[in-house]
Chain A
Amino acid sequence: MISIKNISKWYGSFQVLTDCSTEVAKGEVVVVCGPSGSGKSTLIKCVNALEPFQKGSITVDGVSVGDPKTDLPKLRSRIGMVFQNFELFPHMTVTENLMLAQVKVLGRSADEARQRGLKLLDRVGLIAHKDKYPGQLSGGQQQRVAIARALSMDPIAMLFDEPTSALDPEMINEVLDVMVDLAKEGMTMMVVTHEMGFARKVAHRVIFMDAGKIVEDAKKDDFFGTPRSERAQLFLSKILHH
């Protein structure tokens, strides 16, 4: 589904990604972890071309992301993305947030878009808040709306960029629960997160990055059982035992 081949990226002369390659198969859940500044967020943003890359190639469902001839808006509309800071549109109500891209990008009628949006809002348990503005919701609620908004586009895959990092601890689980349900339904997911509990529960594979390189790309059980690299062992021991 998502194929990343030998990606390298520079900011000026500073190299942020070095020769990263991996695959995410249909229905697979891949967790990307690693210390901050290791390039995980940059890598995931390359997948839907929010960040350009200078070398290598990425294809999503057979469509090349880096090809200048690719219809990027169309490709992006098929890949859902959830951000660290939710990024709901603060000047629109929750319902309007859910409807905007469905109407503008997919060409759905307002009624159809509203129905689809509200159904998903109900699914994340927030139907009572449909007429509120994002600023009136808690962080956890905003993030669940953001997930519903991404799902309203009927994506073939979902990207999560540290979806719980900006949340208060007591709100993390409500968001993770939604993500676990999605994973169990067979959604293809690439998730940048430090939530190792989530990784243990639903991930198929775990990718560990450090200093712009993919250091380890292993099946979940292998990763948590016997990580091969010293760097990954150290990282795990630090975040799992405290």
Chain B
Amino acid sequence: MHYDFDVIERSVGYLFREGMTFTLTLTALAMVGGIFFGTLLAMMRLSRFQWLSIPAGAYVNLMRSVPLVMVIFWFFFLMPYIGAWVTGSKELVRVGAWTSAVVTFTMFEAAYYCEIMRAGIQSIPRGQVWSGYALGLNYWQTMGKIVLPQAFRNMLPVLLTQTIILFQDTSLVYVISATDFFGAAAKVANRDYRLVEMYTFAAVVYFIMSYGLSTLVKQMQDRIAIIR
């Protein structure tokens, strides 16, 4: 067997400029969107109004019970129909792999971030909510100024851990032919027939980034434990 590790050096610019940019942008957008919608879902799930809590619970359970790769496929093929329905147009709305990926990951991750934020909100003592209300703050002010900032701070390590999982999961956009870091590596691997080298290199990069991030999270967790 001959290994040609020069292929990495030749393609590393392309891998990071194209692939890693896609991966990191998708991770960042899905994280921000996922936490935003996840927090809203968590507030709905904890609502005393059943017309809010039941749909939110159903959505979260559905998303958490189907494989991500299936949701990616399903959404990619369904988006044109949904787009046409929303805009009321007769023709299918063409949606690129990028848009489809951002929407899918945001919606899918929202279900997981929801459960984290729900635990975070429930970790705040009832008295904090009472004292907000007693001062005359309304629901949104009490949530926005008192409950969510504390819930977010308490859950930050868990939210980041979920984001590391999201970072790895973005490689699944491979199935809709989007060129993320893994997809770029796969393309080069197939073009130059250097499968072992490229996949090993991709694995090492994913490992270093994920492991590095989780070490940071661990340190942060220790620091938060001291503050609390």
Is A53 in the interface zone, CB < 8 Å from B? Answer: no
**B interface, by DSSP: helix, strand, loop or mixed?**
helix
- Give CA–CA (A79, B133) in the complex, Å: 11
Is B177 in the interface zone, CB < 8 Å from A? Answer: no
- Given A87-B127, A89-B128, A100-B145, check contact A81 B134 (CB 8 Å): yes
Question: Which of A84, A91, A101 makes the CB contact (< 8 A) with B136?
Answer: A101
Q: How large is the interface on B (under 10, 10 to 19, 20 to 34, 35 or more residues)?
A: 10 to 19
- Give CA–CA (A174, B221) in the complex, Å: 37
Contact A79 B150 (CB under 8 A): no
Is B137 in the interface zone, CB < 8 Å from A? Answer: yes
Report A91-130 residues with CB < 8 Å from chain B CB: 91, 100-101, 104-106
Contact B127 A149 (CB under 8 A): no
**Chain A residues within 8 Å of B127, by CB:** 83-85, 87
**Chain A residues within 8 Å of B128, by CB:** 87, 89
Q: What's the tally of chain A residues with a CB closer than 8 Å to chain B? A: 29
Is A48 in the interface zone, CB < 8 Å from B? Answer: yes
Contact B145 A153 (CB under 8 A): no
Interface residues of A (CB under 8 A from B): 45, 48, 50, 72-74, 76-81, 83-85, 87-91, 100-101, 104-106, 146, 149-150, 153
Given contacts A89-B128, A100-B135, 17 further A-B contacts (CB under 8 A): A48-B133, A72-B133, A76-B136, A79-B134, A83-B127, A87-B125, A87-B127, A89-B131, A90-B150, A91-B150, A91-B153, A100-B137, A100-B145, A101-B137, A104-B137, A105-B136, A105-B137
- List the 10 closest pairs (A to B, CB-CB), nearest first: A77-B136, A87-B131, A101-B135, A81-B134, A105-B136, A87-B127, A73-B136, A76-B136, A73-B138, A50-B130
